[in-house]
A = this chain, B = another copy of it.
Amino acid sequence: MRRAGDMLPIGKIARRTGLAVSAIRYYETEGLVHPIRSAAGQRQFRRSDIRRISFIKIAQELGFSLTDIRGEMEKLPEGRTPTTSDWEQISRRFRDELDQRIDQLQRTRDRLDGCIGCGCLSLKACSLYNPDDTVREKGAGPRLILDDGQKSEEV
């Protein structure tokens, strides 16, 4: 039994979440929220959609894309808004992601340290470029072929 009074129009959702109305409409087209429609075709949101949108903004703040976020929400049974225990699962996954990004940046910084005095700035030699896994994509992508048929001097 969902009384009309339980539902909120898009403007209130916008005010409660701090988002623009257009952003909320956009989230709907992206499948992140699923308002029902009034007889006249206006969107009607549940109160829990405020929490749902808060989740989206927080996850974005953590650096995740809307696609990532939709993915996480689709793992929940029947597309429900994350509960406290859902959040516990999800936030652990987010934490792991953050850890990986921090590690990656730290490795980059360390490589940069090793290069401060070097100044080789050569794509063939510099360890800053192609650190680990940029090349080897089956043969496509940037080549780093160095022979242009001329005496390879200074570069």
Seen from chain A, the residues whose Cβ lies within 8 Å of a Cβ on chain B are 8, 12, 15-19, 47, 50-51, 54-55, 57-58, 61-63, 82-85, 87-88, 91-92, 94-95, 98-99, 101-102, 105-106, 108-109, 112-113, 115-119, 121-123, 126, 128-129, 131, 134, 142-146, 148, 153-155
Contact = CB atoms under 8 A, between A and B. Distances in A.
B95 A116 contact: yes
A122 B132 CA distance: 40
A55 B146 CA distance: 16
B129 A17 contact: no
Contacts of A54: 121-123, 126, 129
A113 B95 contact: yes
12 contacts: A15-B145, A15-B148, A50-B123, A54-B126, A54-B129, A58-B121, A58-B128, A62-B128, A63-B108, A91-B116, A94-B112, A95-B109
Given A54-B122, A129-B54, A148-B12, A18 B143 contact: yes
Given A54-B122, A91-B115, 8 more contacts: A15-B143, A58-B121, A58-B129, A61-B108, A62-B112, A94-B112, A95-B112, A102-B102
Contacts of A82: 121
A2 to B, nearest CB: 15
B98 A105 contact: yes
